[in-house]
């Protein structure tokens, strides 16, 4: 048993006053709570610090915030211009805001974000950050999980690091938003998800990318949108590798799970994480507002 002083030191060593903000790590791998009075009034230099903290911890949760849709848009713009959000009809009054909403009456309908993915990785330049503000959280369930693709890269064997540096991933929204998927989205009475043929387009990104801000190497994979690999000749080996990559990148040891409270504002880095919204709150309403920030083309 450690003496009480040593235990206190251990506790406080994960609560860091990084760059003037109280940053509390959530796991040994990714995720942090950042304590800020009001994100709406951050100075430019505080905002720069928050961005650095978000890149470093890959997902941050800022509790007790209150942003009207336009205020969330303004906050997101401070991280960068808005990203294009295809297939999902935005809020009519605020075209940059997506209401992530499942009504109590929608029961067990498939939820938005209910599969491991990195936002819109099928685009030529997928979003850098997503900002999600919790407004109406069910009494239980509806947690979100994130996994670190940086940690997943670091844990690869040298042989896989070498092999994957010659592999590219083919990203497409085909199995999420092409017309054959329309029925699956129609169970959400308050979200209008419009599937169309453009979902069959493909985009090629390196399997190993370099994060443009931290310069860390990332295993840039997600099973929702990566439907093929280039640089693996054998078809059976290709399927085996895609299944392996999914299991590896979403291994529990690379994840953090957040139980939302109303007022939480999450910012995650799509260049280094995947996420997954759990759908275990049938009979309750869940509403969060989402904005996305434009990114750049992923590079090796
Ligand atoms: C999303 O994938 O953007 C939604 C995440 C969530 O609802 O928790």
- Give 102 Cα–ligand 1 centroid separation in angstroms: 11
Q: Could you tell me which residue, 20 or 278, shows the higher pLDDT?
A: 278
- Give 115 Cα–ligand 1 centroid separation in angstroms: 10
pLDDT of residue 12 exceeding 60, the answer is no
pLDDT of residue 56 exceeding 60, the answer is yes
Q: Are 82 and 293 in contact (CB under 8 A)?
A: yes
Q: How confident is the model at residue 280 (pLDDT cuts 50, 70, 90)?
A: very high
**In this structure, what DSSP letter does residue 83 have?**
P
Q: Which of 130, 176, 269, 270 to mutate to test the pocket of ligand 1 (most atoms within 8 A of CB)?
A: 130
Beta-strand ranges (E) seen in 149-292 are: 168-172, 202-206, 208-210, 217-219, 226-230, 255-258, 265-269, 273-277, 286-292
Alpha-carbon Rg for the chain, nearest whole angstrom, is 19
The domain spans of the chain are 4-293
pTM: 0.94
Question: How much is the pLDDT for 278?
Answer: 98
Question: How much is the pLDDT for 7?
Answer: 52
pLDDT of residue 177 exceeding 80, the answer is yes
* Fold adopted by 4-293: Double-stranded beta-helix (3.60.130)
Q: How confident is the model at residue 20 (pLDDT cuts 50, 70, 90)?
A: confident
- Which residue's CA is the nearest one to ligand 1's atom 2? 113
Question: What is the number of the ligand 1 atom nearest to the C-alpha of 143?
Answer: 8
CA–CA gap between residue 128 and residue 148 (Å, rounded): 15
pLDDT of residue 232 exceeding 70, the answer is yes
Q: Which of 85, 98, 100 to mutate to test the pocket of ligand 1 (most atoms within 8 A of CB)?
A: 100
Question: How much is the pLDDT for 1?
Answer: 47
Q: List Cβ neighbours of 55 (8 Å cut-off, separation of 6 or more).
A: 211, 213, 214, 269, 272
Q: DSSP characters for 3-30?
A: -HHHHHHHHHHTEE-GGGSEEEESSSSS
Cα torsion through 268, 270, 271, 273, rounded to 10:
70
Give the pLDDT mean for 18-32.
Answer: 90
Give the pLDDT mean for 140-146.
Answer: 98
């Amino acid at each position: 048993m450690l003496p009480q002083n040593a235990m206190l030191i251990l506790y406080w060593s994960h609560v860091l006053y990084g760059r003037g903000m109280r940053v509390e790590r959530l796991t040994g791998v990714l995720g942090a709570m950042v304590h800020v009075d009001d994100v709406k009034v951050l100075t430019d230099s505080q905002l720069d610090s928050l961005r650095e903290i978000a890149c470093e911890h890959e997902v941050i949760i800022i509790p007790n915030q209150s942003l009207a849709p336009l205020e969330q848009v303004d906050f997101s713009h401070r991280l960068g211009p808005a990203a294009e959000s295809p297939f999902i009809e935005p809020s009519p009054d605020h075209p940059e805001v997506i209401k992530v909403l499942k009504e109590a009456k929608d029961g067990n309908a498939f939820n938005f974000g209910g599969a491991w993915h990195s936002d819109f990785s099928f685009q030529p330049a997928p979003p850098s950050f997503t900002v999600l503000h919790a407004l109406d959280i069910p009494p239980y369930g509806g947690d979100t999980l994130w996994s670190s693709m940086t940690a997943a890269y670091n844990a690869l064997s040298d042989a896989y690091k070498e092999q994957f540096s010659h592999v590219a991933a083919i990203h497409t929204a085909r199995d999420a938003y092409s017309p054959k998927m329309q029925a699956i989205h129609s169970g959400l009475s308050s979200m209008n998800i419009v599937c169309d043929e453009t979902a069959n387009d493909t985009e090629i990104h390196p399997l190993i990318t370099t994060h443009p801000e931290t310069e860390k190497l990332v295993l840039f994979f997600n099973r929702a949108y990566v439907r093929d690999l280039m640089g693996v000749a054998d078809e059976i080996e290709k399927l085996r590798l895609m299944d392996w990559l999914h299991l590896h990148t979403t291994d529990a040891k690379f994840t953090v799970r957040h139980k939302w409270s109303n007022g939480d504002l999450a910012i995650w880095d799509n260049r280094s994480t995947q996420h997954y919204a759990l759908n275990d709150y049938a009979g309750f309403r869940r509403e969060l507002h989402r904005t996305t920030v434009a990114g750049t083309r992923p590079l090796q």
